[in-house]
Amino acid sequence: MRFSIAFWHTFRGTGGDPFGAPTKLWPWEDGTDSLAMAKRRMRANFEFLDKLGVELWCFHDRDIAPEGKTIAESNANLDEVVALAKELQGTKIHPLWGTAQLFMHPRFMHGAATSSELAVYAYSAAQVKKAIEVTHYLGGENYVFWGGREGYQTLLNTDMERELNHLATFLHAAVGHKKKIGFNGTLLIEPKPQEPTKHQYDWDAATAANFLRKYGLIDEFKLNIECNHATLSGHSCHHELETARINGLLGNVDANSGDPQIGWDTDQFLMDISEATLVMLSIIKNGGIAPGGFNFDAKLRRESTDVEDLFIAHIAGMDTLARGLRNAAKLIEDGSLTELIRKRYQSFDTELGALVEAGKADFETLEKKAMEWGEPKVPSAKQELAEMIFQSAL
């Protein structure tokens, strides 16, 4: 299943929210942001991976090492922690993906690659350059671009066309650097419609696909679909996975879920077996997800404060997706749903249907046929039957 632990939630999540102080006081934390603490935390990460039997992990540069006063100092801090991580990884463990954290520091308040300030664009380039290098050094299989603050708060002060052009030149430069250093991992864009900005440029899978096509990046990138981002954009996770898949862009899943009663990115563990079954149907149709995987980009609730809760959440997340896979396999082996869909489109499995699907039926041919056939007999869509078949597999 290629499960992965998200370092930022599992080891940097504090339980703090806009109304309250941190609630998680893990026994290995000493309350500082020192290099020594970063190393102790990294050891905790590998102890956790080992105990769970998980062999993949994901990180942002700034999650794993403290930011220094200069780029050079930040890079040196990162090198020190990454050297330890490399040693602790051994031969079995490596990153599913790495990424750069380009959204917390005030310098990124207008964005990173889409900032109105050239100095911020350059700073971001330096940071992404280093993050790709350390991901490569650690044997990472992918590298993610989630658009942090790449978006706008109002169009009244924004040159959207210029910002999108800058984002594209930035990503082209990232492709150039990846090739230059011999990193063969997949580059992934992670769509999200809003939060922190009111409009994030990588709104959803279709928007990201259009962006990649327009700027000649479509062969260099795939998409990292996060379920909670899907629901924020008004889609289901299944819709986003299918949109990515049919465009040949399904690269990774940030496996989490939101709360339908809460309008923001709650990043909860995916515990819904029905949702997991839909996710796995897409993954099977995709022929699997490797070199991507299922990254638990999910955090414990603020009120879940035992170390044990970290284990329960990840184990339940893995079990839910495993049950989803079994259910999806059951549905495919049973074949009723596939048959229902096949029947629904069977009028196209004809000579004229084939001509239409090959793009060879002109309007005159179709008009002649329509007149000959008269009023079409339109069959039932059988939605309730489809829903019943699906539910019976759960």
Q: Which residues are catalytic?
A: 60
**Any contact of residue 240 with ligand XUL (CB under 6 A)?**
no
What residue 163 binds from Co ion, ligand XUL, none (CB within 5 to 8 A, per partner kind)?
none
Q: How far is the CB of 277 from ligand XUL (least distance, A)?
A: 23
Q: Name the closest residue to ligand XUL (Cβ).
A: 146
User: According to CB under 6 A, which residues from 255 to 274 bind ligand XUL?
Assistant: 265
Distance set, CA 329 to CA 21, 63, 75, 225, 271 (Å):
44, 37, 46, 22, 19
Question: Closest CB to ligand XUL among 180 and 301?
Answer: 301
- Give the type of residue at 184: N
The interface with ligand XUL within residues 15-74 (CB under 6 A) comprises 60
Shortest distance in whole angstroms from residue 100 CB to ligand XUL: 8
Kindly state whether residue 144 participates in binding ligand XUL, applying the rule CB under 6 A: yes
φ, ψ of residue 381 in degrees (nearest 5):
-85, -15
By a kind-dependent CB cut-off of 5 to 8 A, residue 110 interacts, out of Co ion, ligand XUL, none, with none
Left (φ > 0), alpha (ψ -120 to 50) or beta: where does 53 sit?
left
Which C-beta is closer to Co ion: that of 141 or that of 226? 226
Pick the binder of ligand XUL from 150, 190, 240, 275 (CB under 6 A). 190
Question: 192 vs 222, which CB is nearer to ligand XUL?
Answer: 192
Interface with ligand XUL, residue 226, by CB under 6 A? yes
Q: Which lies closer to ligand XUL via its Cβ, residue 208 or residue 393?
A: 208
Residue 128 in the binding site for ligand XUL (CB under 6 A): no
CA 105 to chain centre: 22
Residues lying near Co ion in the complex (CB under 5 A) are found at 226, 254, 297
Q: Is 10 in the site for ligand XUL (CB under 6 A)?
A: no
Q: By CB under 6 A, tell whether 192 contacts ligand XUL.
A: yes
Residue 201 interaction partner, one of Co ion, ligand XUL, none, beta carbon < 5-8 Å per kind = none
Q: How far is the CB of 125 from ligand XUL (least distance, A)?
A: 17
- Complex with Co ion: residue 133 or 254, whichever CB lies closer: 254
Nearer to Co ion, 147 or 389 (CB): 147
Nearer residue to Co ion within complex by CB, 11 or 121: 11
Report 83-102 residues binding ligand XUL (CB under 6 A): 99
For the CB of residue 348, give the shortest distance to ligand XUL in the complex, in Å. Answer: 39
With CB under 6 A as the contact rule, the residue among 108, 146, 152, 296 that binds ligand XUL is 146
Half-sphere exposure of 368 (CA within 13 A, CB side): 5
Q: Does 242 bind ligand XUL (CB under 6 A)?
A: no
Interface residues toward ligand XUL, by CB under 6 A: 60, 99, 144, 146, 190, 192, 226, 254, 265, 297
